[in-house]
């Protein structure tokens, strides 16, 4: 094995076999699953027991039922049964004392003024959750709408419901014929986020590795055997491969989770046709027919993965070279803070732009950023699922590669001097001097 390969292998193996790496990699899908589950659980858990008294002062949405001896909604389906939301109806409000003594959590007062300004007063002792408020608002709106349809248009509500039309835009790129831009931009954002984290985490690994070798004084022995450039390259490639290993592991894990989860859902029989619940579907057909998830199958995954790896390789080299130079110029990690800030600014700028670009991946800032080498690895990925011309991709990637090459050359000059410097606080001016002097 030649020396460069030896260094790469050492950097790689000592990291991938660490318990923290293995557990961390396995935990990503588990944590993602837990995150989704926790979100769903919180949404339900947030809604506490609500018992609402709807006081219909103008008799618009309720009637007196003799047999049940109670006020009931004219439109029962407007007030669907929910686990944590129960309605009672009345034609007169309770006094404050009566309300406080009762088991109602809210008392909503409705009169015909609602037809003008669309507001109803809600009295409570403890404010209901936003989820509960939204549900009550939706239910009351449906009931008032029914009243308006009948009273003002003299139309049958069922007829009205049939006439009522909802329009949603189904996007399609005129050239690529691809649709569902929002879903795709979310996929792009997930890739961008992952890229941001990988560059950041493994860039820091490079910096720490350099600081360790410098602080432990191992570096003097190593560079008496290999050139500083070889050591730097070996370190960056080795640690970069740790990142690639993690990506591959996560891809395989993700694929397995997708397959196993899909089969489990198929077996459980919950995957049914949207138009006919009696028709059971296989996982892929169900995904394709699902409005929310169908776009996942439309994304060009091989292109995404290949581009993600290419941008990771180039982007990582670029930033890792910077981080290595910083590591070589300091004695310990805490000294690196003031040098880290300028190096990390473009990364954070790219991340913030990516967050904003979810809504509009083809916006000017994201498009320009996808050609700026320091931000391109993150911002091109958010554009990629929506379709990017090949020349744009090539131009952007070449820019990143050229910058990475330049950074490695500059970094190597700082590195070879910095790693042997001890007991001296290095200034930015000194770094520039190291770079200028061959």
Partner 1 sequence: MPTAPALDISGIEKRFGEQRALAGVGFQVPQSGIFGLLGPNGAGKTTLLRMLNGITAPDAGSISFFGEPLTRAHLPSIGYLPEERGLYKSMRVGEQALYFAQLRGLDKKEARERLRYWFDRLEVDGWWHKEVSEVSKGMAQKIQFILSVLHEPRLLILDEPLSGFDPINAQRIREVILELKAKGDTTILLSTHDMGSVEEMCDEVALLNRGQLVLNGKVPELREAARDGRYAVTFRDTVMAFTVALGASAELIEVNPNPEVPGEHLAMLRLPAESDIATWVRWISEQVELTSCTPWRPGMRDIFIRAVEHQKQPVA
What gap in Å lies between CA 273 and CA 262, rounded to an integer? 15
The yes or no reply on residue 220 touching partner 1 (CB under 8 A) is yes
Nearest CA among 364, 372, 314, 381 for reference residue 345:
372
Please pick, from the candidates 223, 299, 318, 366, the single residue that binds partner 1 as defined by CB under 8 A. 223
238-277 per-residue burial string, b: 16 or more CB within 10 A, e: under 16: bbbbbbbebbebbeeeeeeeeeeebeebbeeeebeeeeee
**Helices 130-153 & 19-46, crossing angle to 10 degrees?**
40
Single out the segment in contact with partner 1 by CB under 8 A; choices: 40-48, 135-143, 220-228, 277-285. 220-228
The yes or no reply on residue 82 touching partner 1 (CB under 8 A) is no
The yes or no reply on residue 221 touching partner 1 (CB under 8 A) is yes
In whole angstroms, the minimum distance from the beta carbon of 239 to partner 1 comes to: 14
* Residues of span 225-254 touching partner 1 by CB under 8 A: 225-227
In whole angstroms, the minimum distance from the beta carbon of 228 to partner 1 comes to: 9
In whole angstroms, the minimum distance from the beta carbon of 12 to partner 1 comes to: 13
The yes or no reply on residue 20 touching partner 1 (CB under 8 A) is no
Identify the DSSP state of 55. E
Please pick, from the candidates 32, 155, 305, 420, the single residue that binds partner 1 as defined by CB under 8 A. 420
What gap in Å lies between CA 219 and CA 278, rounded to an integer? 69
Q: Which is nearer to partner 1, 138 or 217 (CB)?
A: 217
The yes or no reply on residue 6 touching partner 1 (CB under 8 A) is yes
Nearest CA among 191, 193, 200, 417 for reference residue 320:
200
Instruction: Report CA-CA distances (Å) from 152 to 2, 73, 75, 144.
Output: 87, 19, 16, 11
Please state whether 69 falls in left (phi above 0), alpha (psi between -120 and 50) or beta: left
Q: Which two tokens stand for residue 88?
A: 């009672």
The yes or no reply on residue 224 touching partner 1 (CB under 8 A) is yes
Q: Which two tokens stand for residue 33?
A: 């699953």
Please state whether 59 falls in left (phi above 0), alpha (psi between -120 and 50) or beta: left
In whole angstroms, the minimum distance from the beta carbon of 6 to partner 1 comes to: 6
The yes or no reply on residue 1 touching partner 1 (CB under 8 A) is yes
In whole angstroms, the minimum distance from the beta carbon of 227 to partner 1 comes to: 8
The yes or no reply on residue 14 touching partner 1 (CB under 8 A) is yes
Q: Which is nearer to partner 1, 224 or 364 (CB)?
A: 224
The yes or no reply on residue 16 touching partner 1 (CB under 8 A) is no
In whole angstroms, the minimum distance from the beta carbon of 217 to partner 1 comes to: 4
The yes or no reply on residue 222 touching partner 1 (CB under 8 A) is yes
The yes or no reply on residue 173 touching partner 1 (CB under 8 A) is no
Nearest CA among 127, 135, 196 for reference residue 382:
196
Single out the segment in contact with partner 1 by CB under 8 A; choices: 5-13, 95-103, 111-119, 313-321. 5-13
What gap in Å lies between CA 379 and CA 196, rounded to an integer? 10
- The footprint of partner 1 on this chain (CB under 8 A) covers a number of residues equal to 22
Single out the segment in contact with partner 1 by CB under 8 A; choices: 32-40, 96-104, 224-232, 395-403. 224-232
In whole angstroms, the minimum distance from the beta carbon of 19 to partner 1 comes to: 12
What gap in Å lies between CA 183 and CA 382, rounded to an integer? 11
Q: Which is nearer to partner 1, 237 or 380 (CB)?
A: 237
Nearest CA among 211, 307, 242 for reference residue 24:
242
Identify the DSSP state of 56. E
What gap in Å lies between CA 54 and CA 100, rounded to an integer? 15
In whole angstroms, the minimum distance from the beta carbon of 433 to partner 1 comes to: 9
Spell out, one character per residue from 177 to 216, where the chain touches partner 1: x when CB under 8 A holds, - when not: -----------------------------------x--xx
In whole angstroms, the minimum distance from the beta carbon of 214 to partner 1 comes to: 10
Task: Tell me the backbone φ, ψ of residue 90, rounded to 5 degrees.
Answer: -155, 165
Residues near partner 1, by CB under 8 A: 1, 3, 6-7, 10, 14, 18, 212, 215-218, 220-227, 420, 422
């Amino acid at each position: 094995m030649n020396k460069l390969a030896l260094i790469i292998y050492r950097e790689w193996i000592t990291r991938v076999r660490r318990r923290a790496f293995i557990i961390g990699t396995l935990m990503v899908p588990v944590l993602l699953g837990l995150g989704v589950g926790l979100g769903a659980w919180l949404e339900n858990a947030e809604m506490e027991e609500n018992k609402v008294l709807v006081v219909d002062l103008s008799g618009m949405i309720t009637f007196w039922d003799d047999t049940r001896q109670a006020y009931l909604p004219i439109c029962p389906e407007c007030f669907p049964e929910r686990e944590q939301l129960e309605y009672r109806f009345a034609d007169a409000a309770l006094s404050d004392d009566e309300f406080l003594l009762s088991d109602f959590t809210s008392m909503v007062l409705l009169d015909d003024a609602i037809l003008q300004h669309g507001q109803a007063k809600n009295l409570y002792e403890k404010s209901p959750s936003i989820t509960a408020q939204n549900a009550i608002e939706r239910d009351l709106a449906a009931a008032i709408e029914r009243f308006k349809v009948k009273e003002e248009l003299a139309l049958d509500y069922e007829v009205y419901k049939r006439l009522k039309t909802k329009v949603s835009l189904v996007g399609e790129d005129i050239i690529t014929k691809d649709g569902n831009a929002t879903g795709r931009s979310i996929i792009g954002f997930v890739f961008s986020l992952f890229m941001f984290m990988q560059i950041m985490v493994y860039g820091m690994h490079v910096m720490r590795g350099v600081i360790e070798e410098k602080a432990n004084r191992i570096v003097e022995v190593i560079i008496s055997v290999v050139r500083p450039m070889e050591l730097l390259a070996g370190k960056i490639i080795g640690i970069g491969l740790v990142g690639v290993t993690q990506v591959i592991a996560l891809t395989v894990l993700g694929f397995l989770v997708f397959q196993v989860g899909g089969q489990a859902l198929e077996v459980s029989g919950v995957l049914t046709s949207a138009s006919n619940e009696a028709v059971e579907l296989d996982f892929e057909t169900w995904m394709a027919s699902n409005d929310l998830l169908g776009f996942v199958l439309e994304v060009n995954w091989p292109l995404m993965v290949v581009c993600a790896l290419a941008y990771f390789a180039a982007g990582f080299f670029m930033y890792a070279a910077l981080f290595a130079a910083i590591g070589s110029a300091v004695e310990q990690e805490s000294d690196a803070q003031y040098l880290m800030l300028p190096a990390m600014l473009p990364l954070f700028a790219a991340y913030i732009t990516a967050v904003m670009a979810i809504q509009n991946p083809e916006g000017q800032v994201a498009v320009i950023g996808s050609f700026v080498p320091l931000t391109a690895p993150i911002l091109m990925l958010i554009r990629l699922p929506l379709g990017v011309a090949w020349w744009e991709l090539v131009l952007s990637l070449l820019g990143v590669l050229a910058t990475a090459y330049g950074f490695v050359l500059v970094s190597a000059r700082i590195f070879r001097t910095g790693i042997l410097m001890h007991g001296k606080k290095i200034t930015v001016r000194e770094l520039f001097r190291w770079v200028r002097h061959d």
